[in-house]
Structure 1
Amino acid sequence: MEHGLRGKAALVGGASRGIGRAIVRRLVAEGMQVLGVARGGCDVPGAIGLAADLRDPAAPAEAVARAVRDFGRLDLLVNSAGATQRGDFLALDDAAWMDGYAGKFFAAIRLTRAAWPHLRASQGSVVQIAGAGGRVASADFTIGGSVNAALMNLTKALADRGVQERVRVNCINPGSIRTDRLAGRIAAAMREHGLDETGAAEFLARSAGVARFGTPEEIAAAVAFLAGAEAGYIQGAILDVDGGWIRAV
């Protein structure tokens, strides 16, 4: 199912792997022109890749300028960059906190600030990829949880501005998604509990209270929906795509 995105232009941060790469693939399949930005670039067929570290304060503006130059317009920004370090709060130093916020929160701020005039001109949209950890606190996920919570608040604030300027801003909270990062947790569970890969994945899923882990493609499908015409009245939404993990109202 297409979502009315054909011929439009998107910029996706964090596009080299996992969720970001799946988003690029989905948007290309929807007929969009896509610039994928990541430190390792983006090799998705049909997309333009740009190797840039979005933690660099100058990189977001340069990425937006490249997208507008190559496509002549910008209709969608997806902020999917930034993995944060897990660990005990007392063991995480200032450098870990600064890196977590630089790679995810400040990268999103700077990309959105640079893209906003172009999105306003096209009456486009922003989709933030935050995370369920922003709504469910965990002692070993203090950096990621607080960054994701900040992104959710930023979404609401920008959506308020977007009402007047015709820019839609929404946020997706992925739960546990089958990415390289989750693969590491599955491998650890295999060693700790003497399980095979399938058994370890099922064990971790049950521990989280879900039937299974999600896929990057399921997050990408949610992005396509929120960016499309059917979601034209959705503004400032926080969409949990987590298999039922978050049970709070």
Structure 2
Amino acid sequence: MDRGLKGKAALVSGASKGIGRAIVQRLVAEGMQVLGIARGGCDVPGAIGLVADLRDPAAPAAAVARAVRDFGRLDLLVNSAGATQRGDFLSLDDEAWADSYAGKFFAAVRLTRAAWPHLAQAQGSVVHIAGIGGKMASADFTIGGSVNAALMNLTKALADRGVQDGVRVNCINPGSIRTDRLTGRIATAMKEKGLDETGAATFLAKSTGVARFGEPEEIAAAVAFLASGEASYFQGAIIDIDGGWLRAT
């Protein structure tokens, strides 16, 4: 299916692995020019990789400037960077909170602010990758939950501005997606339960009430849809892609 993305330009953060890397791969396959940024760079064939630490307040604007310089335009920004620290609330100090917010929430704020004039010119869009934890509270995910909730609220606020400026802003909340972090949990379950990889993955998935874990490519497909003209009436949408894990509005 031709989504009309060929020749357009995208900037994707968190592009070195997992969901971010899958998004870069999908957008390249759609014919887009893509700059993928991450602390580990991005080695996806057909994309330009940029090594950058978005916790540095100056890095987001520099990344946007690089994308516009290389492509001459910017049609899509995907904020996928930032793994937040997990742990019980009482064990997390101020440094843990500051680092997690800097790497995910403030990185998204700064990238979006720098990209906005270019996105407005192109009548483009922003997609935030938050997480279903922003709707589900737990003591060992206090930081991640609050960061994801903040990204959802930011989506709504920017969508309000986007109506005026012609920029669409939407958000995806992945559930349990088969990334490196989840692979580690599966390996632990294999040892503790004496299961093979498939059995351990099934056990963990059922423990959260879903049939299976998601794949990064499934999130990437949703990003491609949101970036396309098919989603032209999506504005401020919060899309849960979690296999039915969240059973509340």
Q: What TM-score does the superposition give when structure 2 sets the normalisation length?
A: 0.99
1:196 CA drift (Å): 1.8
2:165 corresponds in structure 1 to 165
1:125 corresponds in structure 2 to 125
C-alpha distance in structure 1 between counterparts of 2:228 and 2:139, whole Å: 37
CA RMSD of aligned residues (A): 0.7
C-alpha distance in structure 2 between counterparts of 1:152 and 1:60, whole Å: 20
1:139 CA drift (Å): 1.5
The answer to whether the aligner puts 1:210 opposite 2:215 as a matched pair is no
Alignment of structure 1 residues 147-158 onto 2, 5 Å: 147-158=147-158
The answer to whether the aligner puts 1:194 opposite 2:194 as a matched pair is yes
1:102 corresponds in structure 2 to 102
Give the 3-state SS of the residue equivalent to 1:49 in structure 2.
strand
Alignment of structure 1 residues 54-133 onto 2, 5 Å: 54-133=54-133
CA deviation map 1:126-177 (0-9, x unaligned): 0000000001111111111100000000000000000011000000000000
The ranges of structure 1 where at least 4 consecutive aligned residues each deviate by more than 6 angstroms after the TM superposition are none
Give the 3-state SS of the residue equivalent to 2:31 in structure 1.
coil
Aligned residues: 249
The answer to whether the aligner puts 1:220 opposite 2:220 as a matched pair is yes
CA deviation map 1:197-242 (0-9, x unaligned): 1111111100111000000000000000001000001000000011
- The amino acid across from 2:76 in the alignment is L
Mark the runs of 5 or more structure 2 residues left unpaired by the alignment.
Answer: none
C-alpha distance in structure 1 between counterparts of 2:194 and 2:93, whole Å: 33
| Percent identity for Structure 1 against Structure 2 | 84
C-alpha distance in structure 1 between counterparts of 2:193 and 2:92, whole Å: 27
2:19 corresponds in structure 1 to 19
C-alpha distance in structure 2 between counterparts of 1:2 and 1:67, whole Å: 24
Give the 3-state SS of the residue equivalent to 2:78 in structure 1.
strand
C-alpha distance in structure 2 between counterparts of 1:21 and 1:179, whole Å: 10
Give the 3-state SS of the residue equivalent to 1:36 in structure 2.
strand
2:5 corresponds in structure 1 to 5
